[in-house]
């Protein structure tokens, strides 16, 4: 299995939810609504889920093995970190441009 694409769909700065992500596997299967969540000690990845008839949330899709979970989490968190770096660079560039305009 190869994760061939990770798309950061939305980034949030308030609350524990940090991003919503889609992942493509082997250029053949897409998994949407994966969440990047700020835990007490670190970021983690929460797979898409829905509430069952008893009010319990159940994963719709999830990795079976610890190595598959690690692959998903590392790929998603790496893409999230890269996207944050891009946004920070763009923000710094915009701030510099605004400061230059003021001069």
Q: Does the pLDDT value for residue 7 go beyond 80?
A: yes
Summarised one tens digit per residue, pLDDT across range 32-88 is 999 999 999 999 999 999 999 999 999 999 999 999 999 999 999 999 999 999 988
Please give the average per-residue pLDDT across 19-35, as a whole number.
Answer: 97
What pLDDT was estimated at residue 100? 63
101/10: higher pLDDT: 10
What is the Cα–Cα distance from 11 to 20, expressed in whole angstroms?
7
What pLDDT was estimated at residue 39? 94
Q: Does the pLDDT value for residue 22 go beyond 70?
A: yes
> Which pLDDT band holds residue 102 (cuts at 50, 70, 90)?
low
Long-range (24+ apart) CB contacts under 8 A made by 55-64 are: 61/31
Per the listing, tokens 């946004």 go with 87
Residue spans of alpha helices (H) in the chain: 66-102
Q: Are strands 43-46 and 3-11 parallel, antiparallel or unpaired?
A: unpaired
């Amino acid at each position: 299995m190869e994760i061939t694409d990770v798309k950061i769909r939305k980034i949030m700065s308030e609350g524990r939810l940090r991003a919503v992500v889609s992942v493509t596997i082997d250029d053949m299967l897409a998994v949407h609504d994966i969440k990047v969540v700020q835990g007490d000690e670190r970021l983690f990845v929460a797979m898409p889920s829905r509430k069952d008839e008893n009010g319990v949330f159940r994963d719709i899709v999830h990795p079976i093995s610890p190595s598959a979970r690690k692959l998903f989490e590392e790929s998603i968190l790496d893409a999230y970190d890269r996207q944050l770096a891009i946004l920070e660079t763009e923000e710094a560039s915009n701030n510099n441009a605004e400061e230059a305009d003021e001069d």
